[in-house]
A and B are shown apart, each in its own frame.
Chain A
Amino acid sequence: MEQENKQLADIADDGVDRRGFLKCMAWAGTGLVWTMSGGIPVSRAFAKSIGKENKSADLSFVQISDSHMGFSKPANTDVIGTLKSAIDQINGLGTQPEFLLHTGDISHLSKPEEFDNVDQILKSANAREVFYVPGEHDMLDDGNGKAYLDRYGKNAKGAGWYSFEKRGVHFIGLVNVVNLKAGGLGSLGHEQLEWMEDDVKHLKHSTPIVVFAHIPLWTVYPEWGWGTEDSAQALGYLKKFGSVTVLNGHIHQIMQKVEGSVTFHTARSTAFPQPEPGKAASPGPMKVPAEQLKSVLGITDVNFLKRNHSLAVVDSTLA
């Protein structure tokens, strides 16, 4: 036990040892900085001066998720306004992101005007480009996802999976919201998995990997469908890499998990929160007092420091 304690000693000198870190995993606080350093997570007392700390970040991007454009119910009757607030938040960051990652449920009902509205609002973000993966709400057109592909899938395969590289970091966008089976969870499917295996085959083990998909790629809460049936196979292809970051959405709250060299992270929504697993009858939109809404919506800022091989993931709320 003593030996174990020594190994789990306070790495960051801020009073949080690895065991404490693991306990903190599900905390949805604001501005918590998780830094992956050589595969070992190091927590730092958060500071809104993340911009100052990461002036020398080699790569900076922001994840937003679940904008549900078109939703208008008591949980949030102004998803346009809250998405605009998220963009203001992004534009106010110390380090401007090079691009945005939208992890799906861009629209609420896959209507053209819903996609148009999001496109329009995201134009005012100080980021050069936006990369997307679809959520199940983006596959509701008559073409079962053709509307999404026509807009966002120009360089993608199948239902919209693809990969790209930025400053030596390899990004993989996966689609786990099609061909869902009754009683099941999210699903990647054989064709996509084969593509992924091939995609990472020749990459050096030292290449940092970022995987992004809508539904969590680990089993957060199966009763509510919060998981992906065949994600283990996908993660198996990434075993050789020293740093893997998985970014997901769908559950409208922050959940984090570290497993070896893989850090899993889900983002808040910019539209409405959902209850914690099992804390409500169903995972639907959760109403909070109007003045609290912005404090349960948010963005995720990610900064990559090449020399440290570290990825800092910072969540912040809209208020």
Chain B
Amino acid sequence: MRRRSRAMGFAVSLMIALALLAGAERSVDAQQATTPEVKIDNFSFGPASITVPNGTTVTWINRDDIPHTVVSSDSAFKSKALDTDEKFSYTFSKPGTYSYFCSLHPKMTGQIVVR
């Protein structure tokens, strides 16, 4: 009887631990989903295209060793020149597809799809 209840206790603890872990992972995912990051490196935006819910704040961070800018093709947003490790954030308040590029190196392009 005691061994069985100990095993049960262990199983319950394990299940609670797993549930907590899953819950924690889910909240980390949720955090990444609400504050997505686009890394700028090697003259490219990565990921080149992301889809986010309306109201999301997207942050671009420059990890390249040369300055870049983030400029939307329809004038919705425009960053100043970002040197290495500098960031730019924009909160999307309207659904749509936002194409953007680096005004210094216009071959660099990206896209944010806002649902």
* A interface, CB within 8 angstroms of B: 73-75, 108-110, 136-137, 140, 142, 180-185, 223-225, 281-285
Complex contacts, A109 vs chain B, CB 8 Å: 67, 81, 83
Q: For this complex, into which size category does the number of interface residues on chain B fall? A: 20 to 34
Given contacts A282-B42, A282-B44, A284-B42, A185 and B64 within 8 Å (CB-CB): no
Check B67–A108 contact: CB distance below 8 A.
yes
Complex contacts, A180 vs chain B, CB 8 Å: 103, 106
Check B65–A223 contact: CB distance below 8 A.
no
| Number of inter-chain CB pairs below 8 Å | 57
Within the assembled complex, what's the spacing in Å between the Cα atoms of A109 and B100? 21
Given contacts A180-B106, A225-B106, A284 and B65 within 8 Å (CB-CB): yes
Expressed in whole angstroms, the minimum distance between the Cβ of B80 and any Cβ of chain A is 7
Within the assembled complex, what's the spacing in Å between the Cα atoms of A185 and B106? 7
Check A181–B65 contact: CB distance below 8 A.
no
Expressed in whole angstroms, the minimum distance between the Cβ of B68 and any Cβ of chain A is 10
The 7 closest A-B pairs by CB, nearest first: A182-B101, A282-B43, A140-B81, A180-B106, A225-B107, A282-B42, A136-B104
Given contacts A137-B67, A284-B66, A183 and B109 within 8 Å (CB-CB): yes
Check B65–A224 contact: CB distance below 8 A.
no
Majority SS at the chain A contact face: loop
Check B106–A184 contact: CB distance below 8 A.
yes
Chain B, Cβ-Cβ closest to A179:
B103
Most buried by A among B65, B84, B99: B65
Chain A, Cβ-Cβ closest to B83:
A109
Complex contacts, A140 vs chain B, CB 8 Å: 67, 69, 80-81, 104
Check B107–A285 contact: CB distance below 8 A.
no
Expressed in whole angstroms, the minimum distance between the Cβ of A14 and any Cβ of chain B is 40
Within the assembled complex, what's the spacing in Å between the Cα atoms of A225 and B66? 15
Most buried by A among B43, B83, B104, B107: B107
Within the assembled complex, what's the spacing in Å between the Cα atoms of A225 and B107? 6
